[in-house]
Amino acid sequence: MNFISTRGGEAVSAAEAIVRGMAEGGGLFVPETIPAVSEGELEEMLGMNYPERAAFILGKYFGEFPQEELLSEAEKAYARFEGEDAAPLVKIEDGLFLLELFHGPTCAFKDMALSLLPYLLRKSCELLGIKEQILILAATSGDTGKAALEAFADAERVKVAVFYPEEGVSKMQKLQMTTQDGGNVDAVGVKGNFDDCQSAVKKIFRSRECRDKLKERGVILSSANSINIGRLVPQIAYYFSAYCDLVTSGQIAAGDLADFAVPTGNFGNILAGYYAKQMGLPVGTLVCASNRNNVLTDFFRKGTYDKKRTFYRTMSPSMDILVSSNLERLLFEISGRDSALTVERMKALANAGRYSIRAEELKALSQTFFAGYASEEDTVECVYEFFEEFNYPLDTHTGVAMHVARTYCRKRAEDVNAEPRPMVVVSTASPYKFPQAVYYALTGNDVKDSFKGIKRIHLITAMKVPESLKALRYKLPRFKTVIPSDKIFEEVLNFVG
């Protein structure tokens, strides 16, 4: 299968799309045609384990990669996860489920894709005959950065530089990044928010001058953000896997619809669910859950995306985003794959800070998406009440999703014609990754030290503490650089040497 840009241009192979990360002119790669999964194939997936399901979905998009290699690499990647299942579906009560995506090396859902990206990138370079060094450049709101650093640490002919908002990640997220081992990694704090980091990194990808300067040093740019199709496709797999688990556990019959609620920032996670639905997975509604930075909620309700608004730092920092990059892919799809219109809208966003979609497009979106948001108070209340009711501690991002999911379910229950459907809330991080916020939500008390927070949450909940987070207590930060966002490329050049 070939891939095309949301902003027009020639089609490229999967390998080239993965290596380049971002298309010429700032566009994002999408499949030339969205592959289908038949009813028979979905039935076959019921008997597969998670690596087999992941390899099957990857093979639908990356046909030039040997299927046996995809399976072998998926097995190796997910063997690093705690527990027997990389993405277990947990039943909370009749009709409500949590899809736990935090059992990987960095305790967040980004591991589901980034654990496979080193192989995809290595194989892509092999297929294309690339001998140069690859520089993985990533902006992060906290989770992608650590997952990328961990996945590529000490990888041959690869360097990884991540840029995070110095004051916009949790203490645990910052500690995970700044203590990372590996001679080929760099983690840099940026004065500003995630959007500042993302804009600066995207500018480097779009700049021929920047790419030429790196090429002079024998370096080719690639991305670990979800703008890279190699990051996005592996995420589609866990929607299929969750649905298969609903069927095999007798919760639904094959073909019945299921809803998914997703805590959403950069729109990659929920977009994977959209692609799963387009492939034929019986998805009912995708619930787009935002925190106080509710730009997406307004977009889905009114049809106008307006980034010119107050930016808030919240207790769900990985969602503190006002420019959701992956929404461009959805715009491309709902416009009838109109690249010229997509370019026009992205220019309007860059120049005026806003754009609007047509009434018929907004109506089409309403057939698949429901959008809502949770205030800080809503999030605290949801995490507290959920633990009181089910003895299950949610992290604050999943708390946002659970609050909006319940809002959607109440609204749906008011419709006498609506048939019951299971709700799967996508749980994106371990509560121990945000111990201070979670401890406050559970008790109303503050704790300044992250590790004291972990200990106190464990005493309250008895939930197992991930070994990778325990180990951080005894590690000292290696990376202490903090820079303005306009100095990111200078830091990149210093890093590559």
| Predicted local confidence at residue 67, as pLDDT | 98
Instruction: Give the pLDDT mean for 455-465.
Output: 97
| 3-state DSSP percent of the chain in helix, strand and coil, to 5 | 50, 15, 35
Helix (H, G, I), strand (E, B) or coil at 282: coil
Give the whole-angstrom CA distance, residue 292 versus residue 176: 25
Active site residues: 110
The first and second tokens of residue 102, run together, are 């935090």
- Helix axis angle for 435-443 and 376-390, nearest 10°, is 70
Per-residue model confidence as pLDDT tens digits over 98-124:
999 999 999 999 999 999 999 999 999
- Helix axis angle for 376-390 and 396-413, nearest 10°, is 80
Q: Domains plus CATH for the chain?
A: 89-105+231-464 (3.40.50.1100)
Instruction: Give the pLDDT mean for 481-494.
Output: 97
Kindly tell me the sign of the dihedral angle through the C-alpha atoms of 456, 457, 463, 466: negative
Helix (H, G, I), strand (E, B) or coil at 315: coil
Give the whole-angstrom CA distance, residue 35 versus residue 1: 9
Q: Angle at Cα 202 formed by Cα 374 and Cα 336, nearest 5°?
A: 70
Long-range contacts formed by 209-216: CB under 8 A, 24+ apart? 210/489, 213/493, 214/135, 214/492, 214/493, 214/496, 215/132
Per-residue model confidence as pLDDT tens digits over 52-110:
999 999 999 999 999 999 999 999 999 999 999 999 999 999 999 999 999 999 999 99
Neighbours of 73 (CB within 10 A): 23
Task: Report which DSSP code applies to 176.
Answer: H
Helix (H, G, I), strand (E, B) or coil at 87: coil
Neighbours of 497 (CB within 10 A): 7
Instruction: Give the pLDDT mean for 40-59.
Output: 98
Strands (E), 122-169: 133-139, 158-165
- Helix axis angle for 143-152 and 171-178, nearest 10°, is 20
| Predicted local confidence at residue 258, as pLDDT | 98
Q: Angle at Cα 262 formed by Cα 32 and Cα 455, nearest 5°?
A: 130
The confidence band for 131, taking pLDDT boundaries of 50, 70 and 90, is: very high
**Average pLDDT, whole number, for the chain?**
97
| Predicted local confidence at residue 81, as pLDDT | 97
| Predicted local confidence at residue 351, as pLDDT | 97
Task: Report which DSSP code applies to 429.
Answer: B
Per-residue model confidence as pLDDT tens digits over 225-239:
999 999 999 999 999
Assign residue 49 a region: left if phi > 0, alpha if psi is -120 to 50, beta otherwise?
beta
Looking at the chain, the whole-number percentage of residues with pLDDT higher than 90 is: 98
Per-residue model confidence as pLDDT tens digits over 175-210:
999 999 999 999 999 999 999 999 999 999 999 999
DSSP track, 204-240: HHH-HHHHHHHHHTTEEEEE-STTSHHHHHHHHHHHH
CA 144 distance to own-chain centroid: 8
- Going by their DSSP bridges, the two strands 423-427 and 258-263 should be labelled as parallel
- Asked if residues 97 and 90 have their Cβ atoms less than 8 Å apart, the reply is yes
Give the whole-angstrom CA distance, residue 310 versus residue 279: 37
- Asked if residues 247 and 97 have their Cβ atoms less than 8 Å apart, the reply is no
The first and second tokens of residue 296, run together, are 């997406």
Residues in contact with 74: Cβ distance below 8 Å, sequence separation at least 6, in sequence order: 51, 52, 54, 55, 58, 116
Among candidate residues 136, 74, 137, the one with its CA nearest the CA of residue 111: 74
Give the whole-angstrom CA distance, residue 27 versus residue 294: 24
Per-residue model confidence as pLDDT tens digits over 379-405:
999 999 999 999 999 999 999 999 999
Give the whole-angstrom CA distance, residue 321 versus residue 294: 9
Q: Which residue matches tokens 């496709």?
A: 233
Give the whole-angstrom CA distance, residue 131 versus residue 126: 8
Element (H, E) at 89: strand 89-93
Give the whole-angstrom CA distance, residue 362 versus residue 365: 5
**Main-chain phi, psi angles of 418, to 5 degrees:** -80, 125
- Going by their DSSP bridges, the two strands 89-93 and 96-100 should be labelled as antiparallel
Task: Report which DSSP code applies to 393.
Answer: P
- Asked if residues 326 and 267 have their Cβ atoms less than 8 Å apart, the reply is yes
| Predicted local confidence at residue 39, as pLDDT | 97
Per-residue model confidence as pLDDT tens digits over 10-23:
999 999 999 999 99
416: pLDDT strictly greater than 90: no
